[in-house]
Structure 1
Amino acid sequence: MKHGGDLENIAVSPIALKLALALLYEGAQGVTKQELGKVLNLPEASTAASAEIRNKFVEMLNSLKDERADPAAEVRLGSRLFVDNCYTILKRYTSIAKGVYDTDVDRVNFTDSKAAAARINDYIKELTNGHVERIIEDESSLKDSAMVIANAVYFRAAWLDRPFDPKETRLAKFFLNNDKFVTVQFMRSSGQFFFAYVPELDARVLKIPYAVSARDSRSNLERESEPIGNFCI
């Protein structure tokens, strides 16, 4: 994210990001733990903070299990800690990672960065049904690593009541900024949808319901694009 550049598109799952931060928080001490607690908006008292974040994740993971039982959607949240063989992991931490955050620990040899990258990428590829083939692009970046937290959220469901007709798919301009654009395939659908402008992001947001109870898609529409009549996503 830091080195992506202004024209790079970045998709971030808040659940996956918070899960990674929570795992770091559970293993941290001192000032580092305090700083992570502030980022996670936890109480200052460590005992209360730990109880709060664990309760929240148990509740969230249980709700995802309920979603998995819905035949209208396929939902997966996977998380794994890849730890170098030369480090010893406290059994208490391993127990918390698995019992609270449903996160397994996998031992790897990061000095063999090619093999380590392959194991991490294979895990994510399988978790996402091949939609994300790799998250480690530069194998050499793993050589000095002690641990890698890898997670992904996979969600697949049909739109509620208003599926996009493939015949209506058209090529159109997707603006990267005021001057640059790329031509891509746009799905099209006409109807009444929830719509809002978020000044903090300088973005317009379109909400489209999925055929899953209480779930929806919120798609950011870049401000610089041409005015949208029939909403294009």
Structure 2
Amino acid sequence: MTHLSLQFLALLVSCLLCGVFAQQTCQIGQHLVDTPRTIRSDLYRGQQNFTLALLQAINKATPNENVFFSPYSTYHALLLAYFGARGQTEAELTKALSLEWAKNKNHVLKGYNLERGTRMSRSKNSPLQFASADRIYFDKDEVQTECVKEVFHQELVSLDFQNKTEECRIEINNWISNVTKNEIQDMLKTGEVDAQTKLVLANAAYFKGQWSNKFDPKDTKKDIFYTSERKHSFVDMMHKRGTYNLALDENLGAYVLEMPYVTSNDNEKESEISMVIILPPFHNLDGVLAKLTPDSLDDALKEGMAREVDVSLPKFAFEQNLELVPILRGLGIDSLFEEDCDLGDFFTTKLRFGDAKHVAKINVDEEGSTAAAATVLFSFRSARPLEPTKFECNHPFLFLIYDYNSKAILFTGIYRDPMTQK
């Protein structure tokens, strides 16, 4: 099986007729500011901050479970909400998404457009594929602001939620399925979109790749995975001896291994995306998470040195469902779900978000890994030291699918218990 990773994030909002915003000057799409060359890295520095905060929040909410989600897609959907937000709603999203570096929304928009152009420029014939698309689905009766029409015309899709609810649900699901190469189908179930739905903000992402150093299935054998001192189970453990960047990071107190994917048909080209595995001593996963920041991650990756390593990695596949509203509230995003939600840069009618869920799944095998994730917001209703040449993932570890070009974390998760795989 090839490495395949997919993600979808959608925000659904029903219309709450609580009045109309006073006409204000549009904050986006006019008088674009001159921006530094670092703007894209600034944007994804914010994404790293958001990723690690979200990872810690999810780990706290599900302390004994495997974890997997796509911060990249989550960030993009919330970024769309940020572009439409005003007042307290904008302030909360600015802080949670780490956008304080920006002079204004146009500054962020410039970075968004630069990143979008990079996504679309990758060759379709490349063995490594990553694509991401955004959509703003809105009810045809909603009055849009002029700036949203000008700035987000590529993302805007008008639907008749009131009279053709089921057709709208199917159209959104078909878009998700198309972007994710049919890996996520029927994302929105019957009844999850109704005649009161007025707005859907969505991001769908797809990633496919192969290990640069594939595991040989003949070397896969049953081995022990230690969930705790008293709990262990047998897993299909893959084995590979190869040259990888490996670091023993004293700050994190963990080993950090980079497993690259094939980037292009040109074998000389340096890999753009890798799976980064952070393996702490037994019982210290939470300690490592507490120390993990964008700076500490950068430092750990810089410390990695190419060396011959015996890698042992379990084959694994699991699915996770998350209720996101309490998690996002824990990150300071409250107004988005309250009556005072202000999305006045998008629509004149006052709208707010309701419930939120995130569905994610991943599969890792000898060829690579397969992952899928989805988020929807509904508006209605081992303790011993490792030998230097051995990297044995036989106890809980953290993993990231990491894009070096933008320093963006596309997917991340924690594998801690084979028995909770679904």
Residue 220 of structure 1: how far off its partner (Å): 6.0
Cross-structure match for 2:274: 216
* Shift in alpha-carbon separation, 1:110–1:11, aligned structure 2, 3 A: farther
Question: Does the C-alpha gap of structure 1 residues 37 and 187 become closer, same or farther in structure 2, counting only changes over 3 Å?
Answer: same
Taking structure 1 as the reference length, the TM-score comes to 0.72
Identity over aligned residues, as a percent?
A: 23
Secondary structure, aligned partner of 1:133: coil
**What is the CA-CA distance between 1:170 and the residue it aligns to?**
4.6
Give the equivalent residue in structure 1 for 2:81. 24
In structure 2, relative to structure 1, the CA distance for the partners of 1:176 and 1:61 (3 Å cut) is: farther
The answer to whether the Cα contact below 8 Å between 1:110 and 1:116 also exists between their aligned partners in 2 is no
What is the CA-CA distance between 1:41 and the residue it aligns to? 2.0
Aligned to 2:90: 33
Instruction: After superposition, give the CA deviation of every residue in 1:115-166 in whole Å (9 maximum; x if it has no partner).
Output: 33322221111111111224324x3232343222222211112222x12224
Indicate whether 1:67 and 2:148 are aligned. Answer: no
Structure 1 residues 177 and 156: CA distance shift in structure 2, 3 A: farther
Question: What is the alpha-carbon distance in structure 1 between the residues aligned to residue 162 and residue 230 of structure 2?
Answer: 43
Q: Does residue 116 of structure 2 align to residue 87 of structure 1? A: no
Tell me which residue corresponds to 1:115.
Answer: 167
Q: What's 1:103 paired with?
A: 155
Alignment partner, residue 311 of structure 2: 230
- Alignment-mate amino acid for residue 200 of structure 2: V
Mark the CA change 1:89 to 1:169 in structure 2 (over 3 Å): closer, same or farther: farther
- Runs of at least 5 residues in structure 1 that lack an aligned partner in the other structure: none
- What amino acid maps onto 1:80 in structure 2? R
Distance 1:136 1:155 in 2: 21
State the secondary structure of the residue aligned to 1:68.
coil
Distance 1:172 1:112, change over 3 A: farther
Contact 2:237 2:312 in 1 (8 A): no
Alignment of 1:60-209 (within 5 A): 60-68=115-123, 71-98=126-153, 103-109=155-161, 113-137=165-189, 139-143=190-194, 144-160=196-212, 162-170=213-221, 187-195=238-246, 206-209=257-260
RMSD: 3.9
C-alpha spacing 1:103/1:185, structure 2 compared with 1 (3 Å): farther
Q: 1: distance between equivalents of 2:279 and 2:162? A: 40
Secondary structure in structure 2 of the residue aligned to 1:77: strand
SS state at 1:88 partner: coil
Deviations 1:22-65 (CA, angstroms, capped at 9, x unpaired)? 211111111111211122222388xx221221121122122223
Whichever of the two has the greater Rg, that structure is 2
- Could you tell me how far 1:71 is from its partner in structure 2? 2.2
Question: Higher RCO, 1 or 2 (CA under 8 Å, sep at least 6)?
Answer: 2
3-state secondary structure, aligned to 1:51: helix
Q: Of Structure 1 and Structure 2, which has the larger fraction of its residues in strand?
A: 2
| 1:14 paired residue number | 71
Per-residue Cα deviation, 1:160-219 (whole angstroms, up to 9, x for no partner): 2x12224344566777888888876554423343456899x9997542111223321224
- Residues 86 and 180 (structure 1), Cα distance of their counterparts in 2 relative to 1, 3 Å cut: farther
